[in-house]
Amino acid sequence: MTDITVSDPAAARSAPPSSSSAGIRFPTQWLGVAPFFIFALMFLILPTAYLILGAFQNSDGEFTLENLAALSQPTIVAAYWISIKVSLASAILGALIGLAIAIAIVRGGLPGWVRSATMTFSGVASNFAGVPLAFAFLATLGRLGLVTVLLNAIGLNIYATGFNILSFWGLTLTYLYFQIPLMVVIITPAIDGLKKEWGEAAATLGATQWQYWRMVVIPVIWPSFLGTVILLFANAFGAIATAYALTGSSLNIVPILLYAQIRGDVLHNPHLGYAIAFGMIFITGMANVFYIWFRTRSERWLK
C-alpha cells in the first residue's frame, strides 16, 4: 500500500523559491516616468548647468567672476529692479483677488456650478499667456481697444489720466490675467482643508466670526498664502513672451534684456548673458525654496 504524505501548507508558503524560478526582473515600473526624467534632464537640468558654468567663465574658458561683477551695471540693475517690482505687484494683487474668489466659491454658499465653472476657467486662464494674451489686451485696452473706445464714448478717457498699456501698470494688469486664476487653483485646496469642526468648536466657546477668522483661519492658511505669493512672484519674474509681445523694448525687464543679449550682443560677450540668466535662476530658485518650505508648514495643519 502506497503512503501518501500531505505537506504542511505553512511550510510550503515559507519555503524559498527555487533557483530556476528566480531571475532578473526588468524594472518596468520606471518606464512610465522615464520620459519625464529624460525631458527634465535634456531641457532643464543640463541647460541650467550649462548656463551656470558659463556665468563663471570668460571667452577663453577660464574661471572668472567678472561676469557676475558686470551685473552691477546701471542698466542691468534697473532691469532687475523693474522685474522685481512688476512681479511683486502682480503677485500680491493676484494673490489677494484670487484668495477672495476662492473663499467666495468654497465658503460663500454659492451654487456648485459656480465653483465648477470658476475652477475650469482658472485652469485654462492660468496657462494663457504669451503673444495671444498680449494681443487680447492690446485689442481690449489699447488706444484703439474695444474697452477704451467704449469708455471714450461715455466721456472717460483712461489714457488722459496717465494710463498706458505699455507701461509698468499696464504689464502688471496683463500679468493679473494669469496670476489670479493660478492663485485660485492653488489656494482652493487649502481653503477646502479648513475643518468644519474648528468653526463649530469656536462657536461653542463663544468666539465671534471675526475672532474665528483671525485666530484660526488666517493662521492656518497664512503659510499657504505666503507660499503662493512667492510662487506667483517666480511665475511673473520668468515670463518673457507676454512682456515682449506687449511692450517690446519700451519696458526694460530682465527677460527682455536677456533676450536681447542672446539675440545679438554688440559687446561680443555671451557669458554676460549667462550671468544675467544665472541671476534669474538664483532669484526664482530661492522663491521656489521658500514656496516649498511654506507649503510644508501649511500641510501640517491641513492633514
The pLDDT tens digits of the residues spanning 160-170 come to 888 888 889 99
Instruction: Examine the pLDDT at 287 and tell me if it is beyond 50.
Output: yes
Instruction: Examine the pLDDT at 279 and tell me if it is beyond 80.
Output: yes
3 state DSSP class of 64: coil
Per CATH, the architecture of 47-302 is what? Orthogonal Bundle (1.10)
Backbone φ and ψ of 57, nearest 5°: -130, 155
Give the H/E segment covering residue 172: helix 168-192
Contact 287, 83 (CB under 8 A): no
Measure the CA–CA gap between 80 and 280, rounded to whole angstroms: 9
**pTM (2 decimals)?**
0.82
Contact 241, 131 (CB under 8 A): yes
List all residues 6 or more positions away from 86 whose beta carbon is below 8 Å from its beta carbon: 168, 171, 172, 175, 236, 253
Measure the CA–CA gap between 226 and 188, rounded to whole angstroms: 14
Burial class (CB in 10 A: 0-12, 13-18, 19+), 65: exposed
Number of residues written out for the chain? 303
Backbone φ and ψ of 26, nearest 5°: -75, 130
Which pLDDT does position 1 carry in this prediction? Answer: 46
Measure the CA–CA gap between 259 and 240, rounded to whole angstroms: 8
Alpha-carbon 8 to chain mean position: 60
The pLDDT tens digits of the residues spanning 24-75 come to 665 777 888 888 999 999 988 999 899 899 999 888 888 999 999 999 999 8
Spans of all domains in the chain: 47-302
The pLDDT tens digits of the residues spanning 151-199 come to 999 988 888 888 888 889 999 999 999 999 999 999 998 898 888 888 8
Measure the CA–CA gap between 68 and 56, rounded to whole angstroms: 8
First to last CA, the chain: 67
